[in-house]
A and B are shown apart, each in its own frame.
Chain A
């Protein structure tokens, strides 16, 4: 693997960029692997950490389409660790810590931008709710500040501080280490680094069934490129978890919903941090390229269609303009939708089983991107050691049966509300 650096870029430029080689290998699948990871989002991170942290290199990542084509390439690129409920807090902080060193770790500039996030509050009750969250963060060693209206204005002067605002901004929760990451680069960076460690990344290889032995243990997968056997099979397929698990005979506490996102034409810098506007189910940031990147609520019904309804675009635009009046004259250039694995409490599942030989990683709702490194790190741990990592230990599948929901919103078992 050719090392990336400013010097290598200049050196290659002088040679007409002829010396660059494949970022990751493109092998045909072998008949057997120690571990098969299905899905090239969190799956890439999982494979990378399996190889790097646990020395398990006879690993394949199977992707039904193109690498990184799932939610890892269809999100709003936000990273943060401002979670309140025990089980989430330290997990997302591990993720943020891994993000901090990721570009160096992978030797791939994922543009990890710690530009900060503001969760807005519009009345005292909302401030109080954010105080609780901020306190939990601080007591868990995570940076958090409650900021007042003037501080919000200083950080995001384009928001509506006029008397016209339907929901006046009274303050917010600030996490300075939060920010954004160039999403595609995460997939490519993990792929390149994993491939260099020996992981086979197999694109256009869809899993259509599972191979079981007489004892019912999962011993491989049936794919569009033939059967592939493995010591362990790990699923990390987000919105497709339900129907894939069904092929193994499992029913999961998950519904698949779609979440739309929008990006505008590129503009000179307008907004320097990430802002979430709870009152309007809206969040926004600006990409390094200059596009305003924003989204809103789920479309609200089970769907695998990667497109989304016009009505949601309308709602998102309405709330976007309400928060940031000047957004009115900004034009949306692209809209897309991710297929979300909405769990019954809004929190993920990372576990071994329930079938022997199978490992599950799902239920990310729309928070999966920020979790990518920690999800991969802890899932790799679970796969390698057959026991949960300490920070993901609460992400069990049977927590619903036992009454241990990790319900950040308190919305209960209605996936579309999380």
Chain B
């Protein structure tokens, strides 16, 4: 690296004049007093240094005399380190000479930072390895001072950033391809580390300006960030990691970059070897609170692009964390995302050459898990159902029915299914009505899916019975039974009563289950009985009903029509106990809402949507 010195030819003579005057003044100071000798010697030394060292040097520059090592010179346009000097020479008419001294560390000022940014605007793709390292040092210093960082950001153009980001991204890709091909070449490991550091520092500077109180710098940073979608995806992705973007902005920009990368595959070798922007972007999204759900909403029109990640665990994490009811807050977003995702997963498995589950075997169970909390909205024509084409609904149903892994996952995902029931029974009529209604609907959907899949009734029984216990347990703030009989012991007095009435002990849940017929209505009636029982226990606990009150009757398993007989028995029980009308209404509601809508749920899955 060549050192240069530059000077203002108009001001340098003024410096020489000042040096001369200072030297003259010091040289004229005399004092022979021995007590003043120490001080006078210092003065004399300074005068000598000026006279012998610096004045001749300045004079030689003024007269353009050639000194050893100092030759008139021109700075090349591509010289990063001397970019500020080049700027002064071009803009202010300075002159240049070589300077044999090594560059001294010089604090980077606002002017330096501006000049560097302007230089980068034109030369961001001309950096050699040494200049990359020098740039990193300079940017590191710029990052340390907010005012200097703002000066840099306001002078860096979107095109300049794009060029630099593209260059850095390509450097990284080239080196990573070498690594894939066998390992680092000489010095490449250091260059890659420098490139990584440059992305981080550059991102840090832009983020610092965006968050500063300087309106101009904030606006400039905003423009740079908004220009990211038009940049090279790999470089932009690496810059984004350090920008600390909010979830919405990140999702919007990432969506565009992922799409461009997939559609254009600008660097085919990199893409083929799994060096892809999408992996970096998904990592950034996962690290951003709320990022996964925002990305899924933003990509709802093209969710299949998510499957391009080289590391499928990143895709799975996005799908699982971004679709929970807590993450997708609005019903509109849920309706937008869930059907689109499930259809995309289904179609990805249909690829005759490279079905996606070959690369990502977990994707099928992921599909089941993301669908589990939304089965009612996906498959029923209820007011809360997702508004999407019935042909798509049929597609998803067929996908579920024909994919044993999905049904198996749903059967074993009772906790997931129960996540929609996040409120315990309150005794409040309106709140409980919705919960019980949904439980009935969910039971119906599962029953139908399992039946259509020709799963043996005994297995369906087990799954739905398990769900019933889980949900009732959830609603009553009971421990989730696993296995069921473990949790039955400490359950409510009402549930115990139900078991005892049937002649079964707390450990005999399996026996109880075996006693239930394959009849759909019977299963839902028994679940209704559990809910009624829990409601009753809850009312007793709250003091709304005396502890001495006779509990509700259990279903008569020998009855021809279990549901009908249960409702009649409940009404008789209500009359006999003489309970408060409102209490009775609540208990009866628990049964009717469960039993009746269950049938309605099946009706809503019309024949034309079934196989």
Whether A and B are associated in the same complex: the answer reads no
